[in-house]
Amino acid sequence: AVLIVSGRPQLVGDQLGKINALVASWLPGSEGDGVADVLYGKRAFTGQLPVTWPKSEAQVPINVGDAT
């Protein structure tokens, strides 16, 4: 399993076939206990990504308004 702690989507598409689970915790700060709760089975995983993750660098930027 892989836990990603990051403020933005990461390019991980080439690694997905090598891992059995991926958790994007973003930057949990004071809510890090919530991340621990789901990792240790105290709470169920729920929710959805707030942004689309790119499959490759060719898709960056992928979200409307991200272009500079």
Query: Which pLDDT score is estimated for 41?
Result: 95
Indicate whether 7 belongs to any domain: yes
Of the two residues 68 and 46, the one the predictor is more confident about is 46
Domain with 45 in it: 2-59
- Tally of structural domains, the chain: 1
Q: Is residue 64 part of a domain?
A: no
pLDDT, tens digit, 9 for 90 and up, residues 9-31: 888 888 888 999 889 898 999 99
Residue 66 lies in a domain: no
Q: Is residue 55 included in any domain, yes or no?
A: yes
Q: How far apart are CA 3 and CA 24, in angstroms?
A: 6
Structural domain contains residue 34: yes
The model's pLDDT over 42-67, given as tens digits with 9 standing for 90+, comes to 999 888 777 777 888 887 776 666 66
The pLDDT of residue 35 is above 80:
yes
d(CA 48, CA 43): 16
8 is a domain residue: yes
Q: Summarize the confidence of residues 32-41 as an average pLDDT.
A: 94
| pLDDT number for residue 68 | 56
